[in-house]
Amino acid sequence: MLLFGCHFSFISQALLVHTGAKFEVVVVSTQFDGVALVDRSRMVHDALGADVMGKIHALSIKAWTPAQYETKKSSLPANYKPAQ
């Protein structure tokens, strides 16, 4: 699955010795309009693919619509920079 018209950014990363990597990401897409949170997470997992997901120990996902991003972006860390 591809997520079109979105931006995807890593907020933080911690390497866990012998267990894989831990990531926190923000994904903003119009494709999330009207989609339940659990289904949004599935969309992100599918877009990343099994190979990538198999190397990640933990993934915290903020899957927002553009409108949600505008209202919630102030809650993100000060060093957050959205990628396009």
11-51 per-position pLDDT tens digit:
545 554 455 567 778 888 888 999 999 999 998 888 888 88
pLDDT at site 49: 84
pLDDT at site 21: 67
Query: Which residue in 24, 7, 13 sits closest to 76, CA to CA?
Result: 24
Query: Which residue in 50, 54, 53, 72 sits closest to 27, CA to CA?
Result: 72
Distance from C-alpha of 69 to C-alpha of 9, rounded to nearest angstrom:
12
- Beta-strand relationship, 56-64 and 20-29: parallel
**Domain residues of the chain, as ranges?**
27-73
What is the pLDDT averaged over residues 54-76? 85
Q: Please count the residues of the chain.
A: 84
Q: Is residue 2 predicted with pLDDT exceeding 70?
A: no
Distance from C-alpha of 43 to C-alpha of 36, rounded to nearest angstrom:
11
| Residue bearing tokens 């997992």 | 45
Fold of the CATH domain 27-73: GMP Synthetase; Chain A, domain 3 (3.30.300)
